[in-house]
Amino acid sequence: MKKFISKAWLKGGLGLMALAMAASAAAQQKLEPLSVRLDWTPWGIHGAFHLAKSKGWYEQAGLDVKLEDGNGSVTTVQIVGSGDSFDVGHAALASMMIARDKGLPVKAVAPFARRSDIGVLVPVDSDIKGPADLKGKKLVYTAGSLEAPFIDAFLAEGGIKRSDLELLNVEAAGKVTTYAVGRADAVVSTIPFVIASVSERRPSRAISFADYGLNMPSFGIFASEEKLKEKRDQISRFASVTARAWQYIYDGHQDEAVKAIMEQRPQARLDAKILRGQIDALYEYFGKPAKDERIGVPVPADWEEAVKTLRSVDVISDKLQATDFYATDLVHPEKYDGMVSK
């Protein structure tokens, strides 16, 4: 009798397991695939993506999201805009605007960091307070990066030019290290990324380009016009869930985002303290949402200002209007306020 019961229980248990597996497989088949190219190797700005995957929020929205790390915003924009490899991209949106002006059919969907995060990092005890103080100093930057076209305009705000200082051109991967070990007086880069990365070795503070009339949207989601037609609903769900995830993070769940990044990118050997520092530093660049709006929803005034900034340094023409650079009515985080963790 015991053997019979055991066998019956085992058979029933296996049957239930098979049903569960079948149900799971069916559920997976219903998920719509969405491929995403990120801007860079793992860092704090990716917190919402990894958290949403970790908690199963994309799945709850009917999406099977695949995230691939990148090697620069400019490259991500080119890859997403010119091919079928990815449905969506995440990058510095000024790079996307420059590419669109040159004919690449891409549009912003969800700008998360609405204030430009580009600026100059200097040691906390440095006498450099603004662009004028860079005279005679050594400034490290990357010639092919997004920041390069703005350097002259930034220096001009202090009444100086390139010949008044030493500009050291370094590959993007080595720029932070060059500054951190003291081979330069200052570095031009993404402020939240660098300030957290070098804090232990060389405590630093930031001088933002935005404070000198050079503001524009920073990191956010974009897609090609073709994908916006083909997968508009999926992209809308993805952007909305991600926007909701950012709100969740800044409601006091920063450490959950750090944990999610580290769990999903174990090979990167990330430092939890640096990731947390980056997420905290990013907060001020998200800006206050417009009245009755949420994180990730495009704000028209931001794009008007961005067009003005980019035209002032001659990186875009006057052939497009501000509204030509972003899509509307795609980001609805309120639809996902009831998301639960798996």
What string of pLDDT tens digits covers the 342 residues of the chain? 333 334 443 444 444 343 334 334 435 559 999 999 999 999 999 999 999 999 999 999 999 999 999 999 999 999 999 988 999 999 999 999 999 999 999 999 999 999 999 999 999 999 999 999 999 999 999 998 889 999 999 999 999 999 999 999 999 889 999 999 999 999 999 999 999 999 889 999 999 999 999 999 999 999 999 999 999 999 999 999 999 999 999 999 999 999 999 999 999 999 999 999 999 999 999 987 666 779 999 999 999 999 999 999 999 999 999 999 999 999 999 999 998 887
Who contacts 209 (Cβ-Cβ below 8 Å, separation ≥6)? 116, 118, 119, 120, 147, 150, 154, 215
Q: Tell me if 31-115+216-336 shares its fold with 118-212.
A: yes
Task: Give me 22's structure tokens.
Answer: 């079948």
Query: Are 71 and 42 contacting, i.e. CB atoms less than 8 angstroms apart?
Result: no
Residue type present at position 254: Q
The confidence score (pLDDT) of residue 228 equals 97
Q: What is the rounded end-to-end Cα distance, in angstroms, of the chain?
A: 40
The confidence score (pLDDT) of residue 288 equals 72
Task: Give me 318's structure tokens.
Answer: 């006057």
The confidence score (pLDDT) of residue 340 equals 85
Query: Are 308 and 217 contacting, i.e. CB atoms less than 8 angstroms apart?
Result: no
219-224 sheet: strands from edge to edge: 63-68, 32-37, 88-92, 219-224, 106-111
The confidence score (pLDDT) of residue 2 equals 36
Cα separations (Å) of 216 from 146, 150, 230?
Answer: 12, 12, 28
| 219-224 and 88-92 strand pairing | antiparallel
Query: Are 27 and 211 contacting, i.e. CB atoms less than 8 angstroms apart?
Result: no
The dihedrals phi and psi of 62, each to the nearest 5 degrees, come to: 80, 25
Helix axes 93-101, 73-82, angle to 10 degrees: 50
Query: Are 81 and 104 contacting, i.e. CB atoms less than 8 angstroms apart?
Result: yes
Tell me the domain boundaries of the chain: 31-115+216-336, 118-212
Question: Residue with structure tokens 């149900």?
Answer: 23
What whole-number distance in Å separates Cα of residue 143 and Cα of residue 245? 34
| CA-based nearest residue to 339, from 242, 227, 264 | 242
The confidence score (pLDDT) of residue 173 equals 84
| CA-based nearest residue to 141, from 41, 209, 77, 70 | 209
SS3 71: coil
SS3 32: strand
Alpha helix stretches (DSSP H) within the chain:
2-30, 47-54, 57-60, 73-82, 93-101, 151-156, 172-180, 191-197, 225-230, 232-249, 254-264, 272-286, 300-312
The confidence score (pLDDT) of residue 145 equals 87
| 186-190 and 138-141 strand pairing | parallel
CATH topology for 31-115+216-336 is D-Maltodextrin-Binding Protein; domain 2 (3.40.190)
Sign of torsion, CA 28 30 31 34? positive
CA R_g for the chain: 23
What superfamily does domain 118-212 belong to in CATH?
Periplasmic binding protein-like II (3.40.190.10)
Determine the number of helices (DSSP H) and then strands (DSSP E) in the chain. Answer: 13, 10
